[in-house]
């Protein structure tokens, strides 16, 4: 997938003012939304979240084909709306193989090239199929409840359902911030109560772009 060229590398003051105003308006809208939800007796989440689904069809080898097959199917912004959605969501064990299930913050697409992801990477954990559903659910609840350290650095998570194993990955914004990367690893281990026998791997998204692979040539980091 080609990334559009940036034609104006020196934005004018008016452009910067527009960005500043736009961000301010978004913050104001978010505050108003949270106020309305609280008055309605609901419990707003810190982040609005979106579920995406990808069914990897045979022959789907290009990034363009992959992007075309990503479908948004659920979004929620309160504890109550999350449970309404999640209670009707099929469990990983009943989903076809191969399939990817994505949970990302609103405004971030589950693509390496997305502006929120392009400088980041992901922690990877491989699970036997018999236990993957439990660990995935624990991770989903941690993301919904904003329970992981350096939560502002997290973009989302992916469950990749494969023939012989299932793979869980947590995507972060900045692969070069070693402190945040390692703190996220520790938070995932702690939150999932991950047994010591599990090895976590890390891979920057720019490396994935170079070798066109999500899970090959990873860094083993314990």
Residue 153: pLDDT over 90: yes
Instruction: Please give the helix or strand (H or E) that residue 155 lies within, else none.
Output: strand 154-161
| pLDDT the model gives residue 61 | 56
Which tens digit of pLDDT belongs to each residue from 111-136?
999 999 999 999 999 999 999 999 99
Give SS3 for 110. Answer: coil
Q: What DSSP string runs through 159-184?
A: EEE-SS-EEEEEEES-TT-HHHHHHH
Q: Is residue 15 part of a domain?
A: no
Q: What is the distance between the alpha carbons of residues 47 and 56, in angstroms, rounded to a whole number? A: 28
| pLDDT the model gives residue 188 | 97
Q: Is residue 100 part of a domain?
A: yes
Q: Is residue 72 part of a domain?
A: yes
Phi, psi of 194 (to 5 degrees): -70, 125
Q: Is residue 144 part of a domain?
A: yes
Give SS3 for 4. Answer: coil
Q: Which residues span the domain enclosing 49? A: 43-220
For the ranges 23-27, 41-45, 47-51, 104-108, the lowest mean pLDDT is seen at: 23-27
Q: How many domains does the chain have?
A: 1
Residue 83: pLDDT over 60: yes
Residue 7: pLDDT over 50: no
Q: Is residue 79 part of a domain?
A: yes
| pLDDT the model gives residue 118 | 97
How many residues make up the chain in this entry?
A: 222
Q: Is residue 213 part of a domain?
A: yes
Contact of 85 with 51, CB cutoff 8 Å: yes
Q: What is the distance between the alpha carbons of residues 201 and 125, in angstroms, rounded to a whole number? A: 7
Contact of 133 with 122, CB cutoff 8 Å: no
Q: Is residue 3 part of a domain?
A: no
For the ranges 89-98, 114-123, 141-150, 200-209, the lowest mean pLDDT is seen at: 89-98
| pLDDT the model gives residue 4 | 32
- What CATH number did the domain enclosing 172 receive? 3.30.760.10
Q: What is the mean pLDDT of residues 180-192?
A: 95
Q: Is residue 20 part of a domain?
A: no
Q: For 61-94, b where at least 16 C-beta lie within 10 A, e where not — what string? A: eeeeebeeeeeeebebbbeebbeeeeeeeeebee
- β-strand pairing of 154-161 with 166-172: antiparallel
Which tens digit of pLDDT belongs to each residue from 11-30?
444 433 433 444 455 555 55
Q: What is the distance between the alpha carbons of residues 201 and 218, in angstroms, rounded to a whole number? A: 6
């Amino acid at each position: 997938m080609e990334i559009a060229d940036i034609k104006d590398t020196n934005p004018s003051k008016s452009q910067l003012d527009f960005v500043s105003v736009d961000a301010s308006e978004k913050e104001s809208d978010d505050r108003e939304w949270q106020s309305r939800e609280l008055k309605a007796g609901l419990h707003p989440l810190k982040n609005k979240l979106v579920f995406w689904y990808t069914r990897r069809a045979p022959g789907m080898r290009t990034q363009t084909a992959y992007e075309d097959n990503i479908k948004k199917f659920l979004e929620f912004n309160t504890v109550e709306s999350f449970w309404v959605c999640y209670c009707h969501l099929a469990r990983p064990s009943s989903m076809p193989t191969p399939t990817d299930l994505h949970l990302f913050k609103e405004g971030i697409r589950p693509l390496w090239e997305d502006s929120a992801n392009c400088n980041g990477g992901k922690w990877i954990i491989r699970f036997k199929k018999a236990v993957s559903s439990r660990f995935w659910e624990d991770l989903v609840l941690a993301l919904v409840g904003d329970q992981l350290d350096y939560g502002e650095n997290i973009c989302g998570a992916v469950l990749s359902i494969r023939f012989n194993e299932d793979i869980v990955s947590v995507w972060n914004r900045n692969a070069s911030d070693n402190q945040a990367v390692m703190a996220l690893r520790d938070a995932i281990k702690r939150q999932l109560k991950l047994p010591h026998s599990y090895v976590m791997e890390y891979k920057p998204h720019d490396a994935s772009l170079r070798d066109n692979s999500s899970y090959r040539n990873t860094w083993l980091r314990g």
